[in-house]
Structure 1
C-alpha cells in the first residue's frame, strides 16, 4: 500500500508548488523549497519500495519502516487535501460572488478546514509552510533509515533483477495420485481435449487461483495411461516469472533432444533445433505457471508455429492464474476453469492427510466434528486442506485440534508459509494501485457480498484510483475490479438480470485472511460482545480503517475512544449494528475520515457538525429506516463524491443547498418512498456522474424542485434514472431543456413515467431523445400512443439492451438489439 500512496504523493507534489489561491498569492518561498525537497526525497525512497513491500512479510523491521513512511505520507496527503480544499472553496466562492451566468442557485461557502478561510493570508501560508517543514524533517530521517536495509532499487525496472523473497517452487510431472481427490470431471474433460483429433484446440489453459491444484491436475493427466500412449513426446516446463524466452527455449530443446546440450543464446537457432527434434512427432508440452501477459514474448517463442510441424493432435497445456493469459494465447474457448472441491471431496483429502496411519482417531467422533468445521473453513482449497492436514497430523489430542480450529490461520506459521505463498505471488504481480484496492477489502467482514459499484466508490474515496491515470476514476475502478476477478481474488459472482454484468461477488475466506494479514497494522475489525466491550481492542496508533460489527448505540463513542489515535481514521464502517444517533463530540474525533459507512442502522438524525469532515468523500446512510431529513451541515462537505441514501423510506427532503456539493459525482436515492422531489440546487452540480432513484424530476417549473430543464448542465452524467410526473401543457418544452441528446457520456438511462395517458406524453418522450452513445435503456410506465422515432429507427447504434414495460414496474424482460 505504501507504494501506491507514495506514487500518488509524488504526482500531487509535482503540481502543488504552482497551485495558488484565487487572489494569485503563491505559497511562500520557503514552503516551495520544502515541497521540492520533500518530493525529491520521496522519489529516492520510491525507487526501493517494490523490494521493501516484499520483504515486509518476513522482516518486521522493514514493516515498521514502511509504517513510518506511510504515517508521513498520510500526513502530507492530509495537508495537501486541506490546502486544495481551501483553494477550491475560495475560487468557487469568488465565482459565485461574480455571478456566474450558468449557475442558477446562489449560496455562500462556510469554510472550516484547519487553515481557516477567514484568517489573514500570512497566517494561512505560515501554517501550510510550517506543516510541510515538519514533515520534511520526518521524511529525511526515514530516507536515512532505509540505508540499513540494503534495499534493491527497482528503477528502472528493466535494468534490475529483483529476486522474489519466496521463489516459486520448481515443479515437475511427478505426482502421487493417492493424494488427489475430487477432480474426476475436470480430469476426464482434459484427457478428452488432449486426445481429440485435429489441430483445433492447440493450446489448452487451466485457470484458477493459487492453491486450487492446477499443477496437480496437470500432473495427474500427464501420467494417465491414455495420454502416455497417445503422445510420442511428453515434456514439462516450469515457466514461472520472469518469462525468459531464451531460457524456456533452451529447456524445451534439452527435453525434446533427451540430452544436455551446449545451447546457443540465439533464439532463432534454438527454435530451429527444437523444430528438428519435434518434426512429425505427436508432442504434449506442458507450460506450468505462466504469468506474463506480454504478447510479444509469447509470439517470439513461436510455439504455435513450431507445433504445426508436429503430427496432428499435438497439444500445449498451460497452467496460469490469469484469464488474460488464455486471451493472449487465443485459447479462451478451450479454457478449463478450476473451482473449489466439494465438501465430501475436501473431507476425503483432509482425512487422508490428517489421519495417516491413525485409523483409530479417524473414527473418533470428537476428532470428526472438529474436522468437519476445519474443512468448511478451508472452503474447498486443496492446498489449504493439505497444509492444515499436515499440521494436525502431528497433533494427537482433541484440545490441540480445537486450538487450530479457533485460531486465526494467518497466525499459524506453517500456514503463512504454505498457504499464503501462492497468494503472495499473485499479490506481488499486481500494480501498486490494484494492491491498494485489494487490501481495502479487509475493511469488510468475511463472507460479505461486495457490491461492485459501492466498492469502486469507496476505492475512489480513498484516492486509490487516481494514481498516474488520465481516465475517469469509475472506469479505472471497473478495470481494477475486472483484474481482481480474473486473478481469482473474488468468487461467487452475481450478475445483473438485464445486462449480465457482474454486480456483486464474495471473497474466499482464505483470501480474506490473507488481506487482513497484510493490513494488520492499518485495518481493524471490532466485534461487540454485549453491552460493555468488544472482542478485539487495539492499542495500535496506526489503525486507519475501523470496522464495527454489532455495535450498539451507546457503545459507538466508547469504541472510538479506545484508540490511541482515533483522529487518523480514514474509514469508519458498521455492519449488523443498531446505531440511532451520531454525537457531535464523535465528529470531532473523526476529522480525517474519507469513508463513512453507516448503512443498515437506525439513525434518526445526524449532527450539523457532520460538515466539519472536510476530507469526507463517501457517505452511506442507506437503509436508515428512521432518518427523515439531513442536516444543512451535509452541504459543507465540499469534497464529498458519493452520497448513498438508498432505501431511506422515511426521508422526506434533502437540504436546499445541495448545490454546494460541487464535487459530488454519485447521488443514489432509490426507494426513498417519502422523498417526492429533489432540491433544485442539484442542477448546479456539473460533476454529477450518477443520479439514480425514484424521486420525481418535474416536467414543469416548481420553485423548490429539480425539473427536467435543470439537467441541462449535467453533461458528465454516465447513469441517469429519472421519474417524471405532473405532465402539463409545457412538459415537452421542459423536457427539451434537459438536452439528453447532448450528454455523450450517458450510457445507462431509465425513464419511469408517473402520469395519466395524454397527448403530451408522446411529445415528452420525443424530447427526451438521448445521445446515440447510449448502451442501455429502460422505460416503464409509458402509455403514449406511439413510440418516438428515436426508438423505432437505428438511431441508438450502440444499444445492447432495451427493456420496456407498460406498467409502473419493470418486469425484467428484455431483448438484446442486433
Structure 2
C-alpha cells in the first residue's frame, strides 16, 4: 500500500508538512538512527475540522499584517486582501474535502498542497512581523549601542528600511498568492459542497476531573500477582525472580502493576521499591540511572554505566527489593543483561515485575511466572464506562441514556483504556441524539483503523476543538512515558502559536484550560498535584501517545543520533517540524545531521549540542538546550533566530555569559536560565525583549540589567536581586518593579539591605501586583532598625497574596503593620525566619485562611501568649501545620483557659505541631494538646519538652497519649 501522511486537524499550518512526494516510511522497528513514530498504511478517517483550523490561523496572521501596517505600499494591501478572500473561499469547502480525502486520492493531494502553502505563509508573515518589530524597537531605543557597521547610517534610514521591507513582503505574498490561486482553481474540478460554518458539537458543561483509579475490576489478578511477589516457587532462590504481566496495549497492565505496587502488604514486605518506565528504546544507561535515582530518591549526576551499577549493587546488597520495569519492548538479551547484572546482589525474595505487550520479551528476560491479562468482562467494562459517563447525572437522565450507553460500552471490547476515554467523552454529552450519533458513527465500520489505533481514542480526539487538537498532537514530540510538565507544555504550545491571544484571556490561562480538557478526557493521566491541589504534571498512556504519533507522522520525531545512518536520516526527515534529539557525546556527526532539519519549529535537545546549529535552524520557535554541558558561552548568531519564542538553557553548569545578540530575539516569550550557576548577569539590552512573559532563574546573585521595567508583559520573574552599588547606572534598582503588574506566581526579592530608604522601596508598588501569589522578602541585613521597619512597611503586597516569607529581618524590633488579617486576608502560608531582634509575635491568629505557619530563629522571643492568637472568635481557624525552629530563648507558651469558657476556639484544624531547637521551652499549651485534632507531634533538640513528655518517665505523657504519631529526636516515629 502506498505511503501517506495522516494529520487529522490537530495542528496548525506550522506542524503539517507536504508529503506528496515523500518516500515510503521506515518500518517501526528501532533504527540505528532511532526515529520513533507510529507507522501505518493509509488511515481511513480524519477530522473534518483540521484544515479549517489551519486556514483560520493563516487568516489571523494576515489580519494582523493589515492591522499593523495600514500604510502598505500600493499593491501589497490588495495582495493581502486577495489572499484572505481566497483562503475564505477555500475554507468554505474544507468540510466536504475532508470527508472525501481518503476515498479520492486527488482530493488528498489537493489538501496536502494547501498545507504546504500554509506553512510558507506562516513563515513569511511571521518573519515580516519580526522585522517590523525590530525596526520599532530600534527606533524606541536609540541609546542602545548599535553594531559599528551600521552606526554611520542616518536616522531616516529607518523609513528606507521599512520601504524595502514592504517591497520584500509584497514580492513574497504575490508569489504565494499565485500558488494559492492555483489550489483554489483546482478545487473546482472536485465540485465540493460549500458550507459557511463548521458545526461545533454540543458539549455538556462540567468541571470535575474523574478519578478512575478505583474502577479497576482486577481483584483476582491483583491477588495472584501479590501472591507471586510475596511467595511462590522462587521464594528462597538467590537468583532474580521475574514476574511478567503480558497483554495488549490499553488492557490495563500498568494500572494493575500500580495497584500491586501500592498495596500495604507489598510495602511492608520489601526493603526497597523502585518503579522505572522503560519504553522504547531500551537504554541500559538511562534505565540503570533511573533505578539508582528511585533507590536514592534524588537525582544522580553519574552517567557512566559501571559507576551507576556499582552504586546500585551497594544500595541493594542483602536487601529484599521490588523493581517494576514498566512497558518493556526489547527482545535483545544483550541489552537486558547489561541491566540485570547489577540486580543480583539483593536478598532472597527480591522480585522484578515486568509489564510488556510481547510474550517474547517475557521469555527473553527469564520470567518465572507469566500472567496473561485479558479483556474486562462485559459487565466490568460497563461499570467502568458508566461510573465515568454518568457521574453527576440525575437518575432520570441515567435511565434515559442507559440502553444506548450499554451499546456504546460494548464497543470498547473489554479494553479499560477505551472504556475510560469513551466514558470521559460521553460525560460531556447531555443529549440522547449526541449519544446515538457516537454509536452510529461511521468510524466503527472502518476495520483498518482497529489494526493500528483504539477507535474510542479517535472519537474522543475528533470531539476536541481544533485548537486543542493541535495541542494534543504536538505531544508526539516527547518520548513515551515522559512526565509532561504542565507549565513547560503550555509555554511550548504558546511558542508554536497554538494558543489564541486575541481575546482578553491570557494565553497561559487558555493553555491551562486546554490541558484540563485533555485530562478530563483521560487523554492525559497519572497527574501529580501541588499543595493547592492543582495539576502540575501528567503522562500520556502509550496507546494515546501512539495516536499522537499517528497524527503527526513525518512531522514530530524522537531522534537518537547515530553517525552511521546520518545520510539516510537527513534525506528522509528534512521537512520535520518538531523533534526531540537524544544525543550522546560520541555523536560527532550531530551538526550536519540536525542542520538538514532546516524547517524545524521545535528542537528539544538532550545531550551534546554543537553551537553551530543556530545559523541553520532559522525557523525555530522553541529551543530547549537544558542540561547541555559544553556551552561556556552561546554564539552570537543565536540572535538570528527571529521566530524564537521559547529558549530553555537551564541546568547548563558551564554557561557563563549570554551574548548581547540574544536581545535581538524580539518575539521571545520564555527565557529559562535556572541552575546556570556560573551565569552572573543578563545582557544589558534585555529591555528590548518587550514580548518576554517568563524570565526564570534560581541564583539570587544574578545581576538584572537596568530597564527591566519596560518588560510589562512579564508574568514570571522568579527573582529580583538588588545589587548594592548605587553609583552604577547599569544596576537594576527596586523601582524597576513598578510597572510589572502582570507578575504571577512567585517572586523573591533579595538584597533588601541595599534599598536606600522607604521612599525607594515604595517605588516597587508591590501593593498593585494583584496576580502575585507568593512573595519572599530576604536580607534586610545592615539597615538600621527604623530604616528596616520603614522599608518593610513600604513593601506591602496586594491582599491577594497566598504565601509570604520574611527572612533575615535582623535589625527591626517589630514586624510591619500590614501583617494582619485586613491586609492578608487570602494568606495560606507564612514563614518568618531569622528576625533576631523582634521580641513579640503579631496577632497571626486573626489570619482567616492561614494553613501553614513556620517561625524560625527569633533569638530574643521569650514569651508567646494571647497577642499571638489575636482577638477573633476563632484563632487560627484554618491552621493545619505549626512549626517552631531555633527559638533559643523561648520559655513560655500560654493559651488561656478562660478563652474556652467564653466560647473561643483555638486552632480547630491543627494536624501537626513541631518544635525543634527550643531548649528552654517548658511546656506546650494543654488546651492545644487536648482539644485540637492533633495527629503529629514532633519534638527535637528541646530537652525540657522531651523530658516532660517522655514515653516512660515524662510527667505529662498522659496529656499526649491520644496523639497518633509522636517524634522524639533521636528516636524515629512512634505509633501509639
Provide the TM-score with structure 2 as the length reference: 0.54
**1:279-428 paired onto structure 2 within 5 Å:** 321=422, 416-417=450-451, 419-428=453-462
Alpha carbons of structure 1 residues 796 and 459: separation in structure 2 relative to 1, 3 Å = same
Q: Aligned with 1:751: secondary structure? A: strand
Q: Distance in 1 between matches of 2:600 and 2:738?
A: 38
Residues 639, 792 of structure 1: alpha-carbon distance in 2 compared, 3 angstrom cutoff: same
Q: 1:459 matched to which residue of 2?
A: 493
Shift of 1:222: 10
| Pair 1:740-2:766 in alignment | yes
1:747 match: secondary structure: strand
- The superposition leaves residues 520-577 of structure 1 with CA deviations (integer Å, 9 ceiling, x where unpaired) of 132122112468749955524431112211244633312124x3xx3322111112x1
Relative to 1, partners in 2 of residues 1:804 and 1:154: Cα closer, same or farther, differing over 3 Å?
Answer: farther
Q: Secondary structure at the match of 1:755?
A: coil
- Paired residue for 1:558? 592
**Change in 2 beyond 3 A, CA 1:415/1:765:** farther
CA–CA distance in structure 2, aligned partners of residues 42 and 26 of structure 1? 23
With over 3 angstroms needed to count, the CA separation of the structure-2 counterparts of 1:417 and 1:60, relative to structure 1, is farther
Mapping for residues 42-121 of structure 1, pairs under 5 Å: 42-49=87-94, 64-97=109-142, 120-121=161-162
Structure 2 CA distance for aligned equivalents of residues 432 and 210 of structure 1: 25
1:152-195 Cα shifts (integer Å, max 9, x gaps): 6554345999xxxxxxxxxxxxxxxxxx9726799xxxxxxxxx
Shift of 1:18: 4.1
Q: What's the counterpart of residue 576 of structure 2?
A: 543
Matched, 1:7 2:41: no
Cα distance in 1 for residues equivalent to 2:98 and 2:777? 49
SS, match of residue 643 in structure 1? strand
Which of 749, 755, 758 is the matching residue for 1:723?
A: 749
Counterpart position of 1:598: 625
Change beyond 3 A, Cα 1:43–1:650:
same
Query: In structure 1, how many angstroms separate the alpha carbons of the residues matched to 2:103 and 2:724?
Result: 61
Alignment-derived partner of residue 661 in structure 2: 633
Q: Which has more helix, going by share of residues?
A: 1
Contact 1:154 1:160 in 2 (8 A): no
For the 8 Å contact 2:666–2:688, the answer to whether it is kept is yes
Match of 1:444 in 2: 478
Matching residue of 2:520 = 486
TM-score, scaled relative to structure 1: 0.64
Paired residue secondary structure (2:632): coil
Alignment partner of 2:598 out of 551, 561, 567? 567
2:561 is the alignment partner of 1:528: yes
The one of 680, 689, 694 equivalent to 1:661 is: 689
Q: Distance in 1 between matches of 2:518 and 2:648?
A: 24
Give the 3-state SS of the residue equivalent to 1:667 in structure 2: strand
Measured after TM superposition, the shift of residue 727 of structure 1 is 1.1
CA distance in 1, matches of 2:821, 2:170: 62
Tell whether 2:611 aligns with 1:582. yes
Match for residue 465 of structure 2 among 412, 422, 431: 431
Which secondary structure state, in structure 1, belongs to the residue aligned with residue 591 of structure 2? helix
Report the CA distance between 1:767 and its aligned residue: 1.5
Alpha-carbon contact 2:389-2:425 (below 8 Å) kept:
no
The answer on 1:707 being equivalent to 2:733 is yes
| Counterpart selection for 1:41 from 71, 86, 96 | 86
Q: Distance in 2 between matches of 1:223 and 1:289?
A: 6
C-alpha displacement at 1:66, in angstroms? 3.7
The answer as to whether partners of 1:666 and 1:691 remain within 8 angstroms in 2 is yes
Deviations 1:580-611 (A, max 9, x none): x402xx32211111111111111222111111
Residue 791 of structure 1 aligns to a residue whose secondary structure is: coil
Q: Does the 8 Å CA contact 1:532/1:555 hold for their aligned counterparts?
A: no
- Unmatched 5+ residue regions in structure 2? 1-10, 13-49, 151-156, 203-215, 223-248, 256-374, 411-418, 431-446, 836-850, 855-875, 880-976
The match for 1:182 is 218
Q: Does 1:646 align with 2:646?
A: no
- 1-side partners of 2:775 and 2:684: how far apart? 26
Q: Indicate how the Cα distance of structure 1 residues 223 and 36 shifts in structure 2: closer, same or farther if over 3 A, else same.
A: closer
Structure 1 partner of 2:75: 30
Distance between the aligned counterparts of 2:802 and 2:425, measured in 1?
25
The 3 A distance-change label for structure 1 pair 633 and 728 is closer
1:763 to 774, 778, 790: 790
Q: In structure 2, how many angstroms separate the alpha carbons of the residues matched to 1:68 and 1:499?
A: 48
User: Does the residue aligned with 1:526 lie in a helix, a strand or coil?
Assistant: strand
* Cα distance change of structure 1 residues 676 and 516 upon mapping to structure 2, 3 Å threshold: same
Q: For the Cα contact (< 8 Å) 2:561–2:590, is it kept in 1? A: no
Relative to structure 2, which stretch is displaced further, 453-462 or 751-760? 751-760
* Native 8 Å contact 1:569 1:592 kept in 2: yes
Question: How far did residue 668 of structure 1 move?
Answer: 0.4
May I ask how many residue pairs the two structures share in their alignment? 599
* Paired residue secondary structure (1:713): coil
Q: How many angstroms apart in 1 are the aligned matches of 2:547 and 2:736?
A: 48
Secondary structure at the counterpart of residue 548 of structure 1: strand
Specify whether residues 288 and 485 from structure 1 end up closer, same or farther in structure 2 by C-alpha distance, changes over 3 A only.
Answer: same
Residue 140 in structure 1 maps to residue 181 in structure 2: yes
